Amino acid sequence: MSPTAFRSMPALRFTPALVAFVLLLTFVAAPAAAAPNVLLICVDDLKPTLGCYGDTLAKSPNIDRLADRGLRFDKAYTNQAVCAPSRNALMTGSRCTSLGIYNLSVNFRAAVPNAVTLPQFFKQHGYRAEAVGKILHTGHGNHDDQASWSVPTQIEPVVEYLDPDSTGGELTREEAFFENKRLGSIGQLPRGAAWEVVDADDDAYADGRIAQAGVERLRAAKDRQQPLFLALGFVKPHLPFTPPKKYWDLYDPAQFAMPEFRADPAGAPRFAGKGGIEVANYAPLPANGRLNDDLTRQMMHGYYASVSYIDAQIGKVLDELDALGLRDDTLIVLWGDHGWHLGDHGYWTKHTNYEQANRIPLLVVAPGVTRPATATEQLAETVDLYPTLAALAGLPTPTGPQPIDGVDLTPVLRDPTARVRDHAYAVYERGRNRVGRNIRTDRYRLVEWKRPGADPDTAELELYDYQQDPLETENLATHRPEVVKELLEILYTHPEAKPAVESSDFPLPPAYKEFVIRYGNAELYRYNSNYYLTVFAGPREAESAEGEGLIQIGRTWTSVVYFKESRLVTGSESPVYEWYYGGLRQTANGFEEWLQAKCAAARKRFTKKQWRALEEGPPPFTERELAITEARKLFRWWIVGIAPNEDLRFEIHNGSTMVLPYVSVGIRGKLRPPKTGPLHGGGYIPTASILPGETGTIEYDCYKQFVAPEDTDVFALPEPGPEDREQYWEFKAMT
């Protein structure tokens, strides 16, 4: 009898005689109940595009049969829609706002050095904990956690190609990210292919090997007198889409319909959406993330094929579990780390607070507790899995030392109509230490954007009604104040978000740490189209021409600013170095001295009138200017080719009710030989010929004298604010 089944029996009335009898059984006659094995199946970037969730296109028979064994959560949500923070939440039971970690590069032990992770907790209670594949995030400067496992994790590549044409024989940007190589110069590396179609065996790619290793770990555990906690981390459908050809052949591309709504929500803050984050590192995808119909269909095809590839690998593991007779003694969880935008809102991948980036598949099979083929509408979060698995295994309630923010879902596993929470909580950080905390109820999502610790009156809000507007076409925050008030009261029951924690890999100087905790990313003293001084909240690894390790902390108008790794000492200030065209040289003895000197120098660049304008801030947009900003949001454009004169050819759709003479864009690329290095600038595509509701083709020179057109990325600029009037040609031409 399992510990859970024992606890579910009716309570007994303990008389002295019965107590004596129980003690006799405990110490003389009865062996301890066998602890269940745990099989935790983690799938990278998996949204509920599965047959068991009602997707009629998906071919996922093995995950579907897993759902038939237990309970399906129809309203499960990640705690942040990006890989490392979502996995921190799984492993620690702590929400991202409790840790203060919102990015890929910071290890969770930077926030709580003595945290006890989920597998570590099971280890402490007699389990053997093993991991294969991607469980914690390895890459982008982050690393696995040796303390969590009984044996070292078998790491497999997230980005892997078989076709040499996919990389051109060079290290690509995303390969470098995930292998922790060239992190200071990613932009100088080539883009890898967004997909490849190779007729190969399953184990030619990482996920086939992960499945095989999982099978071998189960076999080894069969005769071992120790319960097993086995975590298998499959890496697809993360980009690039590289399932073997037979999985591509399962789908007819013509089956994939275009997304119904491909625009930002009306009235949403301009920073809430996304552009080309992640997709910009893959060819032939446009760097602004705006894909035409052909690319959209190809990406959908690749995503679904990757899901079917993963499904087949999971099937191999389940088959072996059954063959070994471990099915009735094993707790199984299938979990997607976050959702994925498949062209909805015009977005791709994750990185937002919206539904498609946050909703995840979650299946739980607990023999003796869950009933076959059941489903629940209970709202659930990733952090709930830590206390739930501990309870199912009969272990003590976990207490940290990190915050355990999750709730035990076992009442819902027993009775899918039971309720243990009335909302799910998540977050996304969007630059300058601006945190978007959000709660999802059965009907609504409320998002509050502000700096941690700032007055609530400074927040920008979003509200979406999934009963009336499931596609999130409009932000309703200003239209339904009574709903906003009710949901804010729920949000305020949660602790304030912690400011972002920097990586513990380097002992950053106290003055710098204090500055970024207070201000986040800081951009100071705008001069024409440039900020005179920028300080990064997230320091970046780099190296000098001589190979010396550097930590980039910011830039000025004419230089890049660093600490030297060799000069960093815990608790002490460090000299500041700047790179000019003449090389690297020390310019201050510490961060505070450097900052004061740069602020004083910046002040001298401005006239009294200019300085007064800086202090007062720009005047708000006029109605005409507001109309321009709304109109430019409704322009969609794609690079569709290269003209004979090497201009780039754009297809542009005007979805607004206005004619704009220009649309401002960003331009970057790799300089033509003999020059080296990146180019980063901007341009303005003439759009006066494209009338409202129409689509046209425009050819435009994107610095072709400096950058070959095939090496040029054109990307969307952030939505302008009043301070951007001089930089966006939409305003210059119409005011």
Domain-located, residue 320: yes
Mean pLDDT taken over the chain = 88
CA 265 to chain centre: 20
pLDDT of 27: 28
**Of the candidates 383, 415, 447, which is a domain's last residue?**
415
- Considering the domain architecture, whether residues 645 and 666 belong to the same structural domain is answered as yes
pLDDT of 80: 97
Query: Where is average pLDDT lowest: 14-18, 207-211, 384-388, 585-589?
Result: 14-18
Expressed as residue numbers, the domain containing 550 is 510-615
**Of the candidates 556, 587, 615, which is a domain's last residue?**
615
Band (556; pLDDT cuts 50, 70, 90): confident
Backbone region of residue 433 per phi and psi (left: phi > 0; alpha: psi in -120 to 50; beta: other values): left
Domain-located, residue 421: no
Q: Of the candidates 88, 45, 274, which has an alpha carbon nearest to the alpha carbon of residue 174?
A: 45
Catalytic residue among 83, 140, 238, 338: 83
Tell me the C-alpha distance between 414 and 71, whole Å: 9
Omega before 152 cis (within 30°)?
no
Say if residue 129's pLDDT is above 90. Answer: yes
DSSP state for residue 36 in the 8-state scheme: P
Structure tokens at 407: 């709730």
Phi then psi for residue 466, to 5 deg, are: -80, -10
Highest mean pLDDT among 176-185, 188-197, 203-212, 615-624: 203-212
Tell me the C-alpha distance between 365 and 109, whole Å: 31
Tell me the C-alpha distance between 566 and 241, whole Å: 40
Higher pLDDT: 564 or 710? It is 564
**Residue in the structure block whose two tokens are 């969590």:** 148
Q: What is the pTM of this model?
A: 0.73
Residues 342-358 have a mean pLDDT of 96
- Considering the domain architecture, whether residues 598 and 637 belong to the same structural domain is answered as no
Q: Considering only CA atoms, give the Rg of the chain.
A: 27
CATH code for the domain of 207: 3.40.720.10
- Considering the domain architecture, whether residues 651 and 610 belong to the same structural domain is answered as no
- Considering the domain architecture, whether residues 590 and 677 belong to the same structural domain is answered as no
pLDDT in tens, 417-472: 999 999 999 999 986 578 999 999 999 999 999 989 889 999 999 999 999 999 99
- Considering the domain architecture, whether residues 642 and 610 belong to the same structural domain is answered as no
- Considering the domain architecture, whether residues 718 and 578 belong to the same structural domain is answered as no
Higher pLDDT: 436 or 573? It is 436
Higher pLDDT: 568 or 518? It is 568
Name the amino acid, one letter, at 100: G
Q: Return the half-sphere exposure (C-beta side, CA atoms, 13 A cut-off) of residue 573.
A: 12
Q: Of the candidates 70, 89, 92, 588, which has an alpha carbon nearest to the alpha carbon of residue 330?
A: 70
Tell me how many domains the chain contains: 3
- Considering the domain architecture, whether residues 199 and 290 belong to the same structural domain is answered as yes
Query: Where is average pLDDT lowest: 38-52, 283-297, 436-450, 548-562?
Result: 548-562
- Considering the domain architecture, whether residues 61 and 169 belong to the same structural domain is answered as yes
pLDDT of 115: 92
Phi then psi for residue 304, to 5 deg, are: -65, -40
Q: Residue 358: is it exposed, middle or buried by C-beta count within 10 angstroms (0-12/13-18/19+)? A: buried
**Residue in the structure block whose two tokens are 């454009």:** 637
Phi then psi for residue 707, to 5 deg, are: -130, 130
Which residues touch 322 (CB under 8 Å, ≥6 apart)? none
Residues 159-169 have a mean pLDDT of 96
Q: Percent of the chain scored above 70 by pLDDT?
A: 90
- Considering the domain architecture, whether residues 717 and 672 belong to the same structural domain is answered as yes
Tell me the C-alpha distance between 69 and 366, whole Å: 9
Tell me the C-alpha distance between 504 and 199, whole Å: 43
Domain-located, residue 209: yes
Domain-located, residue 197: yes
Catalytic residue among 137, 140, 301, 423: 137
- Considering the domain architecture, whether residues 213 and 190 belong to the same structural domain is answered as yes
Is 83 an active-site residue? yes
- Considering the domain architecture, whether residues 673 and 605 belong to the same structural domain is answered as no
Q: Residue 458: is it exposed, middle or buried by C-beta count within 10 angstroms (0-12/13-18/19+)? A: exposed
**Of the candidates 391, 415, 439, which is a domain's last residue?**
415
pLDDT in tens, 37-52: 999 999 999 999 999 9
pLDDT in tens, 475-504: 999 999 999 999 999 999 999 999 887 654
Tell me the C-alpha distance between 205 and 203, whole Å: 5
Structure tokens at 488: 């804010």
Q: Percent of the chain scored above 90 by pLDDT?
A: 61
Domain-located, residue 595: yes
pLDDT of 3: 33
Domain-located, residue 450: no
**Helix, strand or coil for residue 99?**
helix
Band (333; pLDDT cuts 50, 70, 90): very high
Tell me the C-alpha distance between 331 and 69, whole Å: 11
Structure tokens at 556: 């000025």
pLDDT in tens, 235-266: 999 999 999 999 999 999 999 999 999 999 99
- Considering the domain architecture, whether residues 524 and 406 belong to the same structural domain is answered as no
Domain-located, residue 281: yes
Q: What is the largest CA-CA distance in the chain?
A: 97
Domain-located, residue 479: no
Omega before 240 cis (within 30°)?
yes
Q: Of the candidates 311, 288, 315, 333, which has an alpha carbon nearest to the alpha carbon of residue 119?
A: 333
* Three-state secondary structure readout of 514-538: HHHHHHCCEEEEEECCEEEEEEEEE
Cα–Cα–Cα angle for 735, 532, 733, rounded to 5 degrees: 15
pLDDT in tens, 382-430: 999 999 999 999 999 999 899 999 999 999 999 999 999 999 999 999 8
